[in-house]
Structure 1
Amino acid sequence: MASNTAPTDGGSNEVEHDHGLVRVYKDGRVERPFVAPPLPAGLDPSTGVDSKDVDLGDYSVRLYLPPAATNAPECKQLPVVFYIHGGGFVAESVGSPPGHRFLNSLAAACPAIAVSVEYRLAPEHPLPAAYDDCLSALRWVLSAADPWVAAHGDLARVFLAGDSAGANACHHLALHAQPGVKLKGAVLIHPWFWGSEAVGEESRHPVARAMGGRLWTFACPGTSGVDDPRMNPMAPGAPGLETLACERVMVCVAEGDFLRWRGRAYAEAVTSARGGGEQHGVELLETEGEGHVFHLFKPDCDKAKDMFHRIVAFVNAV
């Protein structure tokens, strides 16, 4: 999936594209300079959660089984959290240390069966490859083909969750889940959405607006631009937000994240599409003084713990 190799004989160190998370050289090599070595699946001693990887062809999934699934017979049927990692659709994996630790903790705390998708990355596999992999993986989970899901998962309580690009993909899946499927909820953490027109207090400067969509057009070369409905769910002609196939939606935003206003606008638009009022099923959590996906890199800070507990409460709400 990822290529971080040294140049071959006659190769070039001349960079053709550098988007921070991913660097492409003119000889075709791809590097992801900030991606830490992945952690393997297996028993996590701090939470007691077991995990395993399942190869499904073009993609794979990592499943997490908490101790509650087998230690307490009365708790065997657990909610299922279907998680999609971030990284701009160009970086990270199910084994990325912050995400793997987060899912061990989340599976134990809920408790829940968690499923994380190892989707194909751009530029080797441009979008919509990642969307297709995630949708296929969700349908695989809903089929209860895996024994952990079949024995311990409550398929009437399936939640989508993801951070950044993963939250973007959650929105896509909530629109395109197989007919008749009604998901219990979706948790969008610092969702990566953008658009040509500024919302809230986003910068109006043309250069800033163009920079906000630069990685998107790289990952999805066939896109119509930042008002592609996959990147801008509020764009003219985008699918109606009232069609999201989930009962409840939680959107998390952070004060220091340039995507903050876009996430707020999304939460407000979903609320409006559902008629507003007290029963709209939309929860917005704003964290002051923190930046994009801070919870993954500072999991022990008070604000990360507060967000974590709010997500657990959202999953466990009746």
Structure 2
Amino acid sequence: MMIVFKHSTMMPFFSFTHYKSFWRSSIAFAFAFAFFLTFLLIANSLTLQTQSTTIPCNKDPYKELNLIPNPNGTVTRPNKPPQSPPAPDPNLNTLVLSKDLSINQSKSTWARVYLPRVALDHSSKLPLLVFFHGGGFIFLSAASTIFHDFCFNMANDVVAVVASIEYRLAPEHRLPAAYEDAVEALQWIKTNRDDWLTNYVDYSNVFLMGSSAGGNIAYNAGLHAAAVDENQIPKIQGLILVQPFFSGTRRTGSELRLENEPHLALCANDALWELSLPVGVDRDHEYCNPTAGNGPARMGMIKRRGWWVLVTGCGGDPLVDRQVQLVRLMQRKGVRVVGHFTPGDYHGVQDRDPLKARELYGW
């Protein structure tokens, strides 16, 4: 039986009347919801029907993903999704200003920083959301219109600075390249002297956030960041994992039930991991399956840092069982985790549907 929280809208994890109450409202939400989550997880224990045998793929996953594999291990991406430029000019009639800042020119990594216009008229500083976009580690960019719009709206509605990170893509740069880029971005944020960051960001109030593959990056980057000197990065308060992208060699009930779900079919999911993971490892590598190998032990670093973790998912996502498993394991490890799972919808719904995005962060 799949776990769902039967709410039409998500409780406002991000919502706050004034930005200084951002973290206080987060804690209040988490305490109120944690016992409810625990009760439901126990009372509605997942039926994780698993099998180790491989389901034959009757379709060409590369064709389904619109990828052309090349002999040298790279891929050709024939269709480039729409992109949006930044808008840094304060004279523009826009609610949120945005600009691109280089992180590491040798790796072509950069950040698109979103600044709510209202911040220009206030001296107090804002929380920072460090956002990692989705795309199966293979596709899309911080400049992709789908994520530009998401970050623009979130910065405006939440009244927070958002730094959307451009990381290297697989298979040209297999994992852990994206995690390394994410940690380097955090170190860059701490030391960068750009006026938008130094004038408007509260470096003691930082959250790592990502959707789909970006949720995986936020999680693994958090683990990497927890292992470095605290003085090298901003003070992280929590991780926000939106439909995080995880898998494993054994099929879960939701993967079997939604094998042909058009937004993330099982064959396509397998192909994305084959292209992203280090050569020679399977889907039970801890990058892919946080419940396998040394993954559970590494969660102790999150507990020691005292971070809150929010994990969201929905019933129409083939990965929902993985996400619930992650919440349950974090609970057993003593991590302060909050889960929010809704019926219906599909993988990546909040990236495509502005109303669903607004339900995510409140208004």
> Into which bin does the TM-score normalised by the smaller protein fall?
0.7 to 0.9
Cα 1:18–1:131 change in 2 (3 A) is farther
User: Does 1:36 pair with 2:93?
Assistant: no
> Is there any run of 5+ residues in structure 2 with no aligned partner, and where?
1-59
- For the 8 Å contact 1:19–1:215, the answer to whether it is kept is no
State the identity %. 32
- 1:243 aligned partner: 301
Whole-angstrom CA distance in 1 between matches of 2:213 and 2:188: 21
Deviation at 1:17, TM superposition (A): 4.7
Cα 1:28–1:210 change in 2 (3 A) is closer
- For the 8 Å contact 1:198–1:204, the answer to whether it is kept is no
Cα 1:77–1:194 change in 2 (3 A) is same
Whole-angstrom CA distance in 1 between matches of 2:323 and 2:192: 32
- 1:10 aligned partner: none
Cα 1:281–1:16 change in 2 (3 A) is closer
- 1:272 aligned partner: 332
SS, match of residue 203 in structure 1: helix
Deviation at 1:108, TM superposition (A): 1.3
Deviation at 1:24, TM superposition (A): 2.5
Q: Which has the higher contact order (CA 8 A, sep 6+)?
A: 2
Tell me which moved more, 104-113 or 124-133: 124-133
Structure having the higher helix fraction is 2
- For the 8 Å contact 2:61–2:268, the answer to whether it is kept is no
User: Does 1:159 pair with 2:214?
Assistant: no
Deviation at 1:167, TM superposition (A): 0.4
TM-score (norm 1): 0.81
Matches within 5 A, 1:1-318: 17-18=62-63, 20=65, 22-25=67-70, 30-33=75-78, 35-42=80-87, 48-56=95-103, 57=105, 58=107, 59-73=109-123, 76-177=124-225, 178-180=228-230, 182-199=235-252, 201-203=254-256, 212-222=269-279, 224-238=281-295, 239-244=297-302, 245=305, 247-274=307-334, 281-300=336-355, 303-309=356-362
Q: Which whole-Å deviations, capped at 9, do the CAs of 1:76-109 have from their partners, x for residues lacking one?
A: 3100100000101110001111110110111112
Deviation at 1:224, TM superposition (A): 1.6
Whole-angstrom CA distance in 2 between matches of 1:53 and 1:144: 13
- Give the CA RMSD over aligned residues: 2.9
Q: How many correspondences in the alignment? A: 287
Q: Which whole-Å deviations, capped at 9, do the CAs of 1:143-191 have from their partners, x for residues lacking one?
A: 2433211111111110000011100001111111122265111110110
Whole-angstrom CA distance in 2 between matches of 1:199 and 1:30: 29
Deviation at 1:308, TM superposition (A): 2.9
Whole-angstrom CA distance in 2 between matches of 1:50 and 1:295: 22
Whole-angstrom CA distance in 2 between matches of 1:206 and 1:49: 40
Cα 1:193–1:218 change in 2 (3 A) is same
Whole-angstrom CA distance in 2 between matches of 1:127 and 1:101: 27
- For the 8 Å contact 1:78–1:112, the answer to whether it is kept is yes
- For the 8 Å contact 2:62–2:271, the answer to whether it is kept is no
> Is there any run of 5+ residues in structure 1 with no aligned partner, and where?
1-14, 275-279, 313-318
Q: Which whole-Å deviations, capped at 9, do the CAs of 1:16-41 have from their partners, x for residues lacking one?
A: 95460533245988433454221011
Whole-angstrom CA distance in 2 between matches of 1:305 and 1:214: 31
- For the 8 Å contact 1:47–1:104, the answer to whether it is kept is no
Amino acid across the alignment from 1:195: G
Whole-angstrom CA distance in 1 between matches of 2:209 and 2:306: 12
Whole-angstrom CA distance in 2 between matches of 1:133 and 1:29: 19
